[in-house]
Amino acid sequence: MKTIVRFIPNILSAFRLGLAIWFPFSPEHLWIWLVIGGGLSDFLDGWIARRCNVTSWQGGLLDAAADKLFVLSVLTTYVFAGRFSGWWIPAVIVRDLTVVFIAAYAALTGAWDSFRKMDARWSGKLATAGQFLLLVVTAIIPEPVVSVLYLTALVSFIAAIDYGRKFLKGLRLRSRHNRNEFLY
Q: Encode pLDDT of 10-27 as tens digits.
A: 999 999 999 999 999 999
Mean pLDDT in residue range 89-116: 86
Does one domain contain both 58 and 14?
A: yes
- Give the separation between CA 62 and CA 103, rounded to whole angstroms: 14
Q: Which residues contact 106 (CB under 8 A, 6 or more apart)?
A: 112, 114, 115, 167
- Residues 77/24, Cβ–Cβ less than 8 Å: yes
Q: Which residues contact 62 (CB under 8 A, 6 or more apart)?
A: 10, 13, 14
Does one domain contain both 112 and 43?
A: no
pLDDT at 2: 62
Does one domain contain both 36 and 95?
A: no
Please report, rounded to a whole number, the percentage of residues in the chain having pLDDT higher than 90: 54
- Give the separation between CA 102 and CA 117, rounded to whole angstroms: 12
pLDDT at 137 over 80: yes
- Residues 12/45, Cβ–Cβ less than 8 Å: yes
Domain boundary among 81, 106, 123: 81
Does one domain contain both 98 and 178?
A: yes
Does one domain contain both 33 and 97?
A: no
Does one domain contain both 96 and 43?
A: no
pLDDT band at 182 (very low <50, low <70, confident <90, very high): very low
Does one domain contain both 133 and 111?
A: yes
Number of C-beta neighbours around residue 166 at 10 A: 18
pLDDT at 107: 85
Which long-range contacts (C-beta less than 8 Å, at least 24 apart) are formed by 106-114? Answer: 106/167, 111/170, 111/171, 111/174, 113/174, 114/167, 114/170, 114/171, 114/173, 114/174
pLDDT at 181 over 70: no
Does one domain contain both 121 and 143?
A: yes
pLDDT at 178: 61
- Residues 160/94, Cβ–Cβ less than 8 Å: yes
| Helices and strands per DSSP (H, E), number in the chain | 9, 0
Please report, rounded to a whole number, the percentage of residues in the chain having pLDDT higher than 70: 92
pLDDT at 131 over 90: yes
The distance in angstroms from the start CA to the end CA of the chain is 49
User: What is the value of pTM for the model shown?
Assistant: 0.85
Does one domain contain both 109 and 166?
A: yes
- Residues 52/2, Cβ–Cβ less than 8 Å: yes
Overall number of domains in the chain: 2
Choose among 168, 162, 24, 146: nearest CA to 91. 146
Mean pLDDT, all residues of the chain: 87
Higher pLDDT pick, 142 / 159: 159
Domain boundary among 81, 111, 144: 81
pLDDT band at 3 (very low <50, low <70, confident <90, very high): confident
Domain boundary among 81, 108, 142: 81
Does one domain contain both 181 and 144?
A: yes
- Give the separation between CA 130 and CA 139, rounded to whole angstroms: 14
- Give the separation between CA 122 and CA 128, rounded to whole angstroms: 10
Does one domain contain both 144 and 106?
A: yes
Q: Give the structural domain span for 160.
A: 84-184
Does one domain contain both 95 and 161?
A: yes
